[in-house]
Structure 1
Amino acid sequence: MKRSIAPPAAVGGTILLLSGTLTGCGASPAASPLAPSSAIGIDVPRADSDFWKAYARYLEQDIAAQHLNVLPLTHSDGDTTKFTANIRALAAQRPRAVVMAPQDTTATIGLLDELLAKHISTVSVDTAPESGSTYMVVRTDNRSYGTKACEFLGRQLHGRGKVAELQGALESINGYERSQGFSYCMRTEFPGIQVIELPTDWKGDVAATRLRSTLATDPDLNGIYLQAGGVFLQPTLALLREKGLLKPAGQSGHISIVSNDGISQEYDAIRRGDIDATVSQPADLYAKYALSYAQAAAEGRTFQVGPTDHDSTIVLLPGGLEDQLPAPLVTRDNVNDPTLWANQPGT
């Protein structure tokens, strides 16, 4: 189901109207150890990108550090059928909360209602389910990813040229929101830039094939937006290298590239001058706060819209609340910042 690209202004207005004082975060008593009947179920969405591999490592670290009682982790490998089966298998063990990251956000239709009927709270990471109620969604403002990429590329290209946009799956909330933010910004702020949209379904081989075709028909391409560096970075750089088009930033003929994810490979590419920037998606904070909210759900704690004590904002969704975590733009100027998760030891 392809989404229409519309201005995001209404969403921002809703956030402003709903902003209030946060309760629960930082104000609740210290968490007590979970009883065996209050275990947390966790489904890891995929392992085919460096970002999700990092997320899984942070989960394991935080589970141990917080001494959480969790059921054996399940892995859905990006497969919708497997995801549904895994969540139902976890639910059968009666955890108090389940942490999930549905890659197809329509896959939760009916599923969340099943969990709610069993008094199981859900925390959704990175994506907001299309239907049903969640205790908390832990993600970033994905429209801002597209907007930040647009603004950076627009300035780099001085408002003129052609940009290929390697989109994710447009039935995915992240894919269409990133596309929405990018498209709206380009239309309104940089009308002199032509955007060539290339849907990829989050597949690196599809991205490489479509970019190859675009380079053949549009040899004057001077910008690329990668909606997922963990999947698209290596195929894109390999193709440009093959075509003799991988020229470092600052050199004549350089194709300006902005990515999304914030993995260490992107940082290395920025340092080499292969790409110009990325938006850092916080794999470490996704794991930390997904588990924190799951534990809070097991303890019956509640939250309200507004700013949190961890530099984010909780907003209201039709199905519950969403904690929008910060996602900084990383360029040559700040790529060595030791606070960025991909610069942490062991990542």
Structure 2
Amino acid sequence: MSIRKTIATRTVLSLALAGVLGAFGVTTAQAAPIRACLITKTDSNPYFVTMREGALAEAKKLGVDLKTYAGKYDGDNQSQVNAIETCIADGAKGILITPSDTKAIVPTVEKARKAGLLVIALDTALSPTSAADMTFATDNFEAGKLIGEWAKAKLGAKAKDAKIAMLDLSITHPTVDIERDHGFLAGFGVPIKDPNTFNVPDKQIVGHAETGGSEEGGQKGMETLLARNPNINLVYAINEPAAFGAYQALKSVGKAGHVTIVAIDGSCAGVKGVQEGIIDADSQQYPLKMASLGIKAIVKWAKDGVKPQASAGKDFFNTGTQLITAHPEPGVPSIDPAEGAKLCWGK
């Protein structure tokens, strides 16, 4: 038999075999895995480390080829832009992103969506929110409102004369700051006139301090506000590191334990802080859930072309929040630190 006839015969046999296998629902080649990307603000913050771990675990479970990227520092927009460009070039089906700059990243996100990628913001919405296909996040206003309501109930009659220190992430470039701030103040009973700014005129507010979300920043911010008014008796902290820093500042002047501290995060370190009495009440959020839902949404999009839906009455999907405290107050729903420890994230 000639070489040409041999090749032809083998080709016919191969095609026949493929037809037989196909009739029984068996394929001779596996489909390429769905490609996806996770882009976080940094790769050092425990919150984003947990988010990455959750996304990788869900991706492995669902057979998704997930690549992860992060900014070099909080606010590093260019690294996130570069990461999106890489994801588009790699043929990713979707991107999960915690935006460092909610406005500056929008043109690059639009480019990705035009290329057919599903883009989901995690934790922090883009500006406008509609710039992403969906946002999976904590209701930051609600998280702030919970600790505000608890603080008002805790102080009781003293609430009307409270002296409040507001420890924010970044006053000049807010992301979740305003929603959490305003939620806390609304829960405490302070009227909000302008929903877009920090400037809430009220005699109870001693001032706002920028912390960068770090313990060092929290300590410096607390020292600055104590110098302005040493009679501060309530501290609102954007996150747990800022709260821990505030506690150190209060401890250095003999006020630890005499000032109420509330925060938002719900990490395992934060829950331990509640157990130890460093933080009095903490709104817990769930980055593992955000990451897991995000990966599932990309798989659904890649297979069926279906986008995720927002929670009823909102322009994002609310991943939930619960108040953790060892001192529950009537009328304010909460769980104790032992229950919070079962749901916490990070170390």
Smaller-chain TM-score range?
0.7 to 0.9
For residue 276 of structure 1, the aligned residue among 276, 280, 292 is 280
For residue 320 of structure 2, the aligned residue among 308, 321, 326 is 326
**Does the 8 Å CA contact 2:99/2:126 hold for their aligned counterparts?**
yes
| 114 and 35 in structure 1: CA distance in 2 versus 1, 3 angstrom threshold | farther
**Does the 8 Å CA contact 2:218/2:244 hold for their aligned counterparts?**
no
**Does the 8 Å CA contact 1:169/1:200 hold for their aligned counterparts?**
yes
Q: TM-score, normalised by structure 1?
A: 0.76
Q: TM-score, normalised by structure 2?
A: 0.76
Deviation at 1:94, TM superposition (A): 1.8
The answer to whether structure 1 residue 112 and structure 2 residue 109 are counterparts is yes
Cα displacement string for residues 77-97 of structure 1 (whole angstroms, at most 9, x for unaligned residues): 321111111111112112111
Q: Tell me which moved more, 293-302 or 274-283.
A: 293-302
**Count of equivalent residues:** 292
Match of 2:195 in 1: none
Alignment of 1:40-119 (within 5 A): 40-70=36-66, 72-77=67-72, 78=74, 79-119=76-116
Deviation at 1:111, TM superposition (A): 1.4
Alignment of 1:146-225 (within 5 A): 146-158=144-156, 159=159, 160-170=161-171, 171-185=173-187, 186-188=189-191, 194-200=204-210, 202-204=212-214, 205-225=216-236
Residue type at the aligned position of 2:60: A
SS in 1 for 2:339: coil
Match of 1:22 in 2: none
Deviation at 1:40, TM superposition (A): 0.9
The answer to whether structure 1 residue 138 and structure 2 residue 136 are counterparts is yes
**Does the 8 Å CA contact 1:126/1:137 hold for their aligned counterparts?**
yes
| 173 and 340 in structure 1: CA distance in 2 versus 1, 3 angstrom threshold | farther
Q: Percent identity?
A: 17
RMSD over equivalenced CA pairs, Å: 2.5
Residue type at the aligned position of 2:232: L
Cα displacement string for residues 165-191 of structure 1 (whole angstroms, at most 9, x for unaligned residues): 1112253331111122223443149x9
| 133 and 338 in structure 1: CA distance in 2 versus 1, 3 angstrom threshold | closer
Kindly indicate which of the two structures has a greater share of residues assigned to helix: 2
| 60 and 118 in structure 1: CA distance in 2 versus 1, 3 angstrom threshold | same
Task: For structure 1, list consecutive stretches of 5 or more residues without a partner in the other structure.
Answer: 1-33, 248-253, 306-312
Deviation at 1:108, TM superposition (A): 2.1
Task: For structure 2, list consecutive stretches of 5 or more residues without a partner in the other structure.
Answer: 1-29, 193-200, 327-334
d(CA) in 1 for partners of 2:301 and 2:154? 45
Larger RCO, structure (CA 8 Å, separation 6 or more): 1
CA radius of gyration, larger in: 2
| 199 and 339 in structure 1: CA distance in 2 versus 1, 3 angstrom threshold | closer
**Does the 8 Å CA contact 1:42/1:74 hold for their aligned counterparts?**
yes
The answer to whether structure 1 residue 236 and structure 2 residue 240 are counterparts is no
d(CA) in 2 for partners of 1:38 and 1:58? 17
Match of 1:25 in 2: none
| 35 and 182 in structure 1: CA distance in 2 versus 1, 3 angstrom threshold | farther
Residue type at the aligned position of 2:254: G
Residue type at the aligned position of 1:246: A
Match of 2:295 in 1: 291
Deviation at 1:192, TM superposition (A): 9.0
